Structure 1
Amino acid sequence: MSVEDYSSKLETTHETYEIEDVAFIGRTLEEYVRMFDLDLAELDDAAILDCPSGACAFVAEATKLGISAVGADVMYQSDYGDLNERGEVDIEMALDGFDGVEDLFEWEFYGDVDGVREHWTNAYETFLGDYSVGLSSGRYVPAKLPNLPFEDDEFTLTLSAHLLFLYADRLSHEFHVESLCELARVTENEVRVYPLADFEGTPYPRLDEILEALAEDGHGVEIESVPFEFQRGASDILVIDCA
């Protein structure tokens, strides 16, 4: 799909889903499978980076399935109690943001706001149950984009959700370019990024420049549809071919 085709899919709205700061919220393995169009059976021999991983359950659940996965996030400098409190507060803050703007979202997957609460609470509780052991074993790594403490091509696949593009009003264009190039640096095969729009459903206005920068850095780029849509119109991912 071309950038022009992607941009024409999304309609700008005057309604806004508002959230303060960058939310420490998690998604379940089921959400990740849909968001990134993953086939778990194909990941047996993969080394996967989730960045930023936040309070997501992906690393914990993937590890249980025998899949090698590492989560990286600046919040992993905090202890268990701080993350537990932050997760609870941020979930409620995010859920409050749906009030009055429900029509900005597709509810087929979650059903309603209570369904969102159930998934996100399950995710952060699963994450917290794995955090202490995972931190000591290296599954959770304190790290902040755009500078990651990993070797070149250390991971087979990198997944990056709900930071880049979504917080375009708070993160500079230079940050986006540097972060995507850094994610590609540490990845041997493929980087997948979701979503490609901000909280208003507006596509990132300089996406074509980012694609050009990635191409100049030697990477293939593509926009692909995925079997997940919560924020209305946000059903595509950016795929960076690092190979």
Structure 2
Amino acid sequence: MSDDEDKKYEIDDFAFLGRTFTEYQQIFDFDPANWAGKRVLDCPAGPCSFVAEAHNHGIEAIGVDKMYDRSPAALSKVCAEDIETAMNALDGVEDLYVWDFYDDTSELRTYRERAATRFLSDYSHNSDRYVSANLPATPFADQVFDLVLSAHFLFLYDDRLSHEFHLETTRELLRISNQLRVFPLHGFDANQSELVAELIQNLRSEGYSTDIREVPFEFQRGANKMLVVE
């Protein structure tokens, strides 16, 4: 086995890390002009700035995360700690990533900090946009959203989230929406998760349409596709 094959980005528990609206546009091939006036759910949203910035584009965006039962001050502390942990975890494995969107680790940190700052401001002033819920359950009625975006949770943590959890969560997000987009399809081991094929088989047997689409973003090598379910 080569040195590269031995390398792996490792992080304990579940990271509370945020992405910006610009990053979401890339990872979900998301054109905000197509979703103005629509209801879009970010789930789990973490400290992403998508909800805050989507409203500037006329999108009725809501964020869901189990951490949203905490105060802004408490979440600010978690954000800072998890950004530091995530950046330290990159030490020695930088070559497992494609440095096109981000120039280097310094710019990556800037994006994470920018997202967290924007999120924390909106979380403090527009708390009605943020709902605390612990997947696979959500508190929403059937088909209340036009779209659900789910980033850096399903498949990524396939070493600690079961196939049954993935299936139950996906069913729930499809119960409350017309379309679901999931990114990435890779686990931390840099390989496409084996759960992808299993989940697609289950969903198709239940009558859902599934499609794997390439997106204009690649950071983890090879992870440039999203799953779209309708």
TM-score (norm 1): 0.91
Q: 2:149 aligns with which of 154, 159, 162?
A: 159
1:191 shift after superposition:
0.5
Residues 97-131 of structure 1 show CA distances to partners (whole Å, capped at 9, x for unaligned) of 11000111001111000010000100000000000
Partner in structure 1 of residue 118 of structure 2: 126
1:173 shift after superposition:
1.1
Please tell me whether residue 211 in structure 1 is matched to residue 207 in structure 2.
Answer: no
1:57 shift after superposition:
0.2
Residues 64-122 of structure 1 show CA distances to partners (whole Å, capped at 9, x for unaligned) of 22211000000001111110000000001000011000111001111000010000100
Native 8 Å contact 2:67 2:132 kept in 1:
yes
Q: 1:51 aligns with which of 37, 43, 53?
A: 43
How has the CA–CA distance of structure 1 residues 65 and 206 changed in structure 2, closer, same or farther, with 3 Å as cutoff? Answer: closer
Please tell me whether residue 168 in structure 1 is matched to residue 158 in structure 2.
Answer: yes
Residues 187-243 of structure 1 show CA distances to partners (whole Å, capped at 9, x for unaligned) of 02x1000000111211111322211211223210010000000011100000001xx
Please tell me whether residue 147 in structure 1 is matched to residue 143 in structure 2.
Answer: no
Aligned partners of 1:155, 1:21: CA distance in 2, in Å?
A: 29
**Aligned length, in residue pairs:** 227
Structure 2: state its 5+ residue gaps.
none
Native 8 Å contact 1:181 1:217 kept in 2:
no
The residue type equivalent to 1:155 in the other structure is: F
Q: Structure 1: which 4+ aligned runs deviate by more than 4 Å?
A: none
Q: 2:66 aligns with which of 59, 74, 84?
A: 74
Query: Counterparts of 1:192-207 in structure 2 under 5 Å?
Result: 192-207=181-196
Native 8 Å contact 1:13 1:201 kept in 2:
no
Please tell me whether residue 30 in structure 1 is matched to residue 19 in structure 2.
Answer: no
Higher relative CO (Cα under 8 Å, sequence separation at least 6) belongs to: 1
Aligned partners of 1:98, 1:143: CA distance in 2, in Å?
A: 30
Partner in structure 2 of residue 180 of structure 1: 170
Partner in structure 2 of residue 3 of structure 1: none
Please tell me whether residue 117 in structure 1 is matched to residue 109 in structure 2.
Answer: yes
Aligned partners of 2:197, 2:121: CA distance in 1, in Å?
A: 40
Partner in structure 2 of residue 13 of structure 1: 5
Aligned partners of 1:146, 1:214: CA distance in 2, in Å?
A: 16
**Corresponding residue SS for 1:128:** helix
Query: Counterparts of 1:216-227 in structure 2 under 5 Å?
Result: 216-227=205-216
Aligned partners of 1:236, 1:86: CA distance in 2, in Å?
A: 29
Partner in structure 1 of residue 80 of structure 2: 88
Native 8 Å contact 1:13 1:200 kept in 2:
no
Aligned partners of 1:194, 1:206: CA distance in 2, in Å?
A: 13
The residue type equivalent to 2:225 in the other structure is: D
Aligned partners of 2:132, 2:126: CA distance in 1, in Å?
A: 12
Aligned partners of 2:180, 2:42: CA distance in 1, in Å?
A: 10
The residue type equivalent to 2:117 in the other structure is: E
Kindly report the root-mean-square deviation, in angstroms, between the aligned alpha carbons of the 2 structures.
1.0
Identity over aligned residues, as a percent? 47
The residue type equivalent to 1:236 in the other structure is: K
Native 8 Å contact 1:52 1:163 kept in 2:
yes
1:46 shift after superposition:
1.3
Structure 1: state its 5+ residue gaps.
1-11
TM-score (norm 2): 0.96
**Corresponding residue SS for 2:126:** helix
